[in-house]
Amino acid sequence: MAENSGKPNYLVGVDLGGTKIRATVFSASLEARGTAKLSTKPQRGAEAVIERVARAVREAVDEADLTFKQVRGVGIGAPGTVDGKTGEVIFAPNLDWHDVPLKQLLEKHLDVPVFVENDCNAAALGVHVVELKSKPRNMLGIFVGTGIGGGLIVNGELYGGFGHAAGEIGHMVIDVGGPKCGCGRKGCLEALAGRGAIFRQILEAVQEGQKTVLTEMLGPDLKDMRSGDLRKALRRGDKLVEKIVEDAAFHLGVAVGSLANILNPEVIVLGGGVMEALADEMLSVIVETAKDYAMPGAMNDVEVIASALGDEAAATGGAVLARQLLK
């Protein structure tokens, strides 16, 4: 059992979200070995959340039948604006964090090197290195979950921008007079096409008396609605859900077309929980719309694909980040 020899050869990737923490142990060659999930409970405050992250990491190591001595480092994808150099979360609205020294506090708990990156940057890194084998020189990742985030690979490397804030695709304004976004502005892509926006539109339509099979499935207040429920409703021919999901796909397509004009990457990858559940229904609308909104030539030979990594992308990217920086 060379696997259990004491040499620290394993990496842990963590996806820290507003609702859940996912920690996955990876071998040096980035094969997943064990995963643990915990709810985030952000209302308890940053210290308590970081303790829960440490617990998830230890549980994942245990799940992989390893000891913590075999872990070389931890890479974590955190929401919001992150300073990768200092490992500080500057601002994360979903967690209500301001200037939290995540790296420093987590290293205190775990006593191994910790590396921090924005969650969608980490997800883009995971997709680029593990799923696409680092082939595309230029790649754009768009991750549709509760909100929408993005990550850019430029010339084979993650592009963070001047102030570490590049890739905030969810806050591109698509409709100037549109619905209010969690960031305080109106008409952001996230407020039109993220999971939160889709759920809000369905709930508003139900309150106005429109019909959907979701009320049979979940009750009149649509409590505990998930992306998978939308897929079930679509399979049952639900016209309301079909229209709202199609609208979200249209807005994503407008964004993809505009971004193709600016970046002209080789590959545009769509990921996150919403895409994982609804890629079959959304991808063709996104691609058709993108072609309508891109300049002639900007989408030529650009591949638009749904990520196969799904919800594992950010944790995978965390491990990639740790491996790169430990070298």
What CATH code is assigned to 2-125+313-326? 3.30.420.40
Buried b (16+ CB within 10 A) or exposed e, 82-95: bbbeebbbbbbbbb
Task: Specify whether the CB–CB gap between 216 and 223 falls below 8 A.
Answer: no
Strand order in the sheet with 88-92: 81-83, 88-92, 97-100
pTM of the prediction?
0.92
> Which residues belong to CATH 3.30.420.40 in the chain?
2-125+313-326, 135-308
pLDDT tens-place string over residues 60-92: 999 999 999 999 999 999 998 899 899 999 988
Q: Report residues of the chain scoring pLDDT below 70.
A: 1-6
* Alpha carbons 183 and 196: distance in angstroms, whole number: 13
pLDDT tens-place string over residues 11-30: 999 999 988 999 999 999 99
Give the homologous superfamily in CATH for domain 135-308.
Answer: ATPase, nucleotide binding domain (3.30.420.40)
pLDDT tens-place string over residues 221-237: 999 999 999 999 999 99
